[in-house]
Amino acid sequence: MKTWNIIKSIFFISIYVLIAACNDDAAEESISADNYPRIIATSPTLPMKGENGELGKLNVKQGETITIKAIYTPFEYAEAVWYVDGVQEGTGDEFKYSNETPGIYHLKLVVSTTSYETTREVNLNVYSTGTGGEFSGFEIHKGVNIGNWLSQSSARGEERKNKFKETDAIFLSQQGFDHLRLPVDEEQLFTESGEVDEETLNLIYKTADWCQLYNMRLIFDFHILRSHNYEADNKPLWTSKEEQDKFVRMWKTIHDKLQQYPDDMLAYELLNEPVAPSSDIWNTLVNRLITELREVAPARMLIIGSNLWNSVSTISDLQIPSEDKNIMLTFHYYEPYLLTHYHASWTDFANLNLPLNYPGLLVRDEDFNNLPADQQEIVRPYKQEYTRESILNNINVAVTAARAKGVKLYCGEFGCLPYSNLTSRYAWYRDLVSIFNETEISYGAWEYNAIFGFCTPDGGLKDATLVDILLGREGAELTTIYTVEAEDCEKGGGTMIIEDNTAASGGKHVNHFWGDSNLKFDVTVEEAGVYYLKIRYVCGTDVWIYSQVNGGVKQMIPCPNSGGWWSEFTDAKTVVNLSAGKNTISFTPEPTGSPILDKFEVCKIKK
């Protein structure tokens, strides 16, 4: 008797014994064709539906046969039928499937008795490893890095699991991001003895599965090695043959663990920001790695950065195989560094205190002259003009190099901290995104939910304006469905005052929105979904305000300096998810200060 039949026999004997033990009349009763059928288990396990109801995916390699077995009850009286794309392809408790054509196919198992039926459904993802120079179909446009999770983080266990969840993947997909870049450090994925850390691997699997489920692509970025931390002085990767052999070996292991994911869905970024003593050393190692990976992954997209921190200035030095259609070059862009890393704790800018301006002259003479001598030396290299044109001229070096090599170009990291001023920050992001679109560069913003990002670690949106800039939807026309004056909201706390102001929409505004102050209003919508929440305000400096919908996660709404504290009203906005029916929206101040408030609007994007 086959092992599978033995397992089935043991299983059903156990069922009968359990029934007999729990029912005094069991001996007089029998399982019949009128019982409700149940699918107890399948092997392999068919993935469950996602939180939004989308079917899970079961990966099947092109041309290979997969056998799916099912345990169901009442086994003697139930009929099991297997359908692929609505066509019956098999019956019984075992189903063999093979397909030579890559694609997504709908598998449905129907188990029925005389009066009832039950089903199990999944998408079969038939993937190809490709051959030779075939283009994998890996296409990306706008994405985001999931940084400080499986890289540059000490979090482990439940803390690490909760830093990026399925709800985050759903949010990013719904917003319109088409790919994620996933930085992974060696010390998280591999033990010092070279064994794979299964918990880390399972988190990578989950991320890849979510990307498949919610129609995003994924870049696996080998970020930091024990032998190559791009910030460390000693990098044995460049001097030790043993470390180079280990690097290649680790990549083969990574591919072995991830090969089931389709070439048009997953790409490999071979090393983040290589910093070799010379470009020739990096070229030698990366070409060895490409050659060895191509033996097992002929059509996987390989993303390769240039020496010296993925700099645009060295990208023309990269030497890559010709005629390989599945290589993409990448660079990172953070210039001017003083603006993008102002007050970053790990830089010389941590304790600076001076106004910055973009576009235009980044540091004015009078502000520079007010600095101590040691800080002047730090700032001096940035005493120049930075504009969209100057950035475009810089990035065009990479564009020219990529076109000469006949490959596509990807900006895998770019970002600006919010600590200088929001107006300059947003202007910088707008220019970068418009340059990427103009030059056909795909891009991944750094990053999702840490200090550079647009969400908080608990999943709250903290900068909807930045999301709109990254996705190119700032100009979307909105239709207002509800308006309420700030002074007409339900009020709590003891500091607020209502003042007359002819520049305000209702002739009044709410001031002193400090401390334990709070405002709230109810809005009823016919359809559940994503809405914009607009705030009309005035303030003479960058401030923030918090919003909550139905007592959920707090969202931060940046309110950039509007140019004054009285008549210079402007709008800020965020994205909120509203339920069908009544919703309560509340506001609280940021501890360091909040704007003067005029009115609130709930809007939909005009179709």
Mean pLDDT of 116-124: 90
pLDDT bucket at 15, cuts 50 / 70 / 90: very low
Q: Please determine, for residue 22, whether its predicted confidence score (pLDDT) is greater than 70.
A: no
Task: Quote the tokens at residue 559.
Answer: 């309110």
Whether the per-residue pLDDT at 28 is higher than 70: the answer is no
Q: Across residues 503-511, what is the average pLDDT?
A: 95
For 478-605, which CATH class? mainly beta
Q: At residue 158, does pLDDT exceed 60?
A: yes
Residue type, 606: K
Alpha-carbon distance of 207 to 135, in angstroms, equals 24
Poorest-pLDDT segment among 115-119, 390-394, 397-401: 115-119
pLDDT at 21: 43
List pLDDT tens digits, range 483-496.
999 999 999 987 89
Q: Kindly report the backbone phi and psi dihedral angles of residue 334, in degrees, each rounded to the nearest multiple of 5, phi listed first.
A: -135, 20
Check pLDDT > 80 for residue 29.
no
| Structure token pair of residue 258 | 């991830």
Percentage above 90 pLDDT, the chain: 80
Choice between 127 and 32, residue whose per-residue pLDDT is larger: 32
Q: Using 50, 70 and 90 to split pLDDT, how confident is the model at 4?
A: very low
Residue 438 has pLDDT above 50, yes or no: yes
C-alpha distances (whole Å) from 246 to each of 204, 234, 291 are 21, 17, 15
Judged against a pLDDT cut of 90, whether residue 24 lies above it is answered with: no
Is pTM beyond 0.75 here?
A: yes
Boundaries of every domain in the chain: 31-127, 142-333+387-471, 478-605
Average pLDDT over residues 215-243: 94
- In the predicted model, what is the mean pLDDT of residues 206-225? 96
Helix/strand number for the chain, H first, E second: 14, 29
The answer to whether 40 touches 71, Cβ cutoff 8 Å, is yes
Q: 38-52, 255-269, 534-548: lowest mean pLDDT where?
A: 38-52
Local confidence band at 49 (pLDDT 50, 70, 90 cut-offs): confident
User: Up-side HSE of residue 410: CA atoms within 13 Å toward CB?
Assistant: 31
Alpha carbon distance 181, 257 (integer Å): 18
> Which residues are registered as beta bridge partners of 72?
39
The mean pLDDT of the chain is 90
**Mean pLDDT confidence for 300-326:** 93
Q: Is 142-333+387-471 a CATH 3.40.50.720 domain?
A: no
Residue 50: what pLDDT? 66
pLDDT (0 to 100) of residue 462:
93
Strand partners, 106: 123
Which of the two residues, 3 and 61, has the higher pLDDT score? Answer: 61
The answer to whether the CB of 480 falls within 8 A of the CB of 603 is yes
Closest by CA to 376, choosing from 352, 405, 404, is: 352
In 8-27, which positions are buried (b, 16+ CB within 10 angstroms) versus exposed (e)?
beeebeeeeeeeeeeeeeee
31-127 has CATH 3.40.50.880 classification: no
The pLDDT of residue 315 is: 94
Task: For residue 82, give both structure tokens.
Answer: 């297997």
pLDDT of residue 60: 81
Find the mean pLDDT for residues 85-101.
Answer: 92
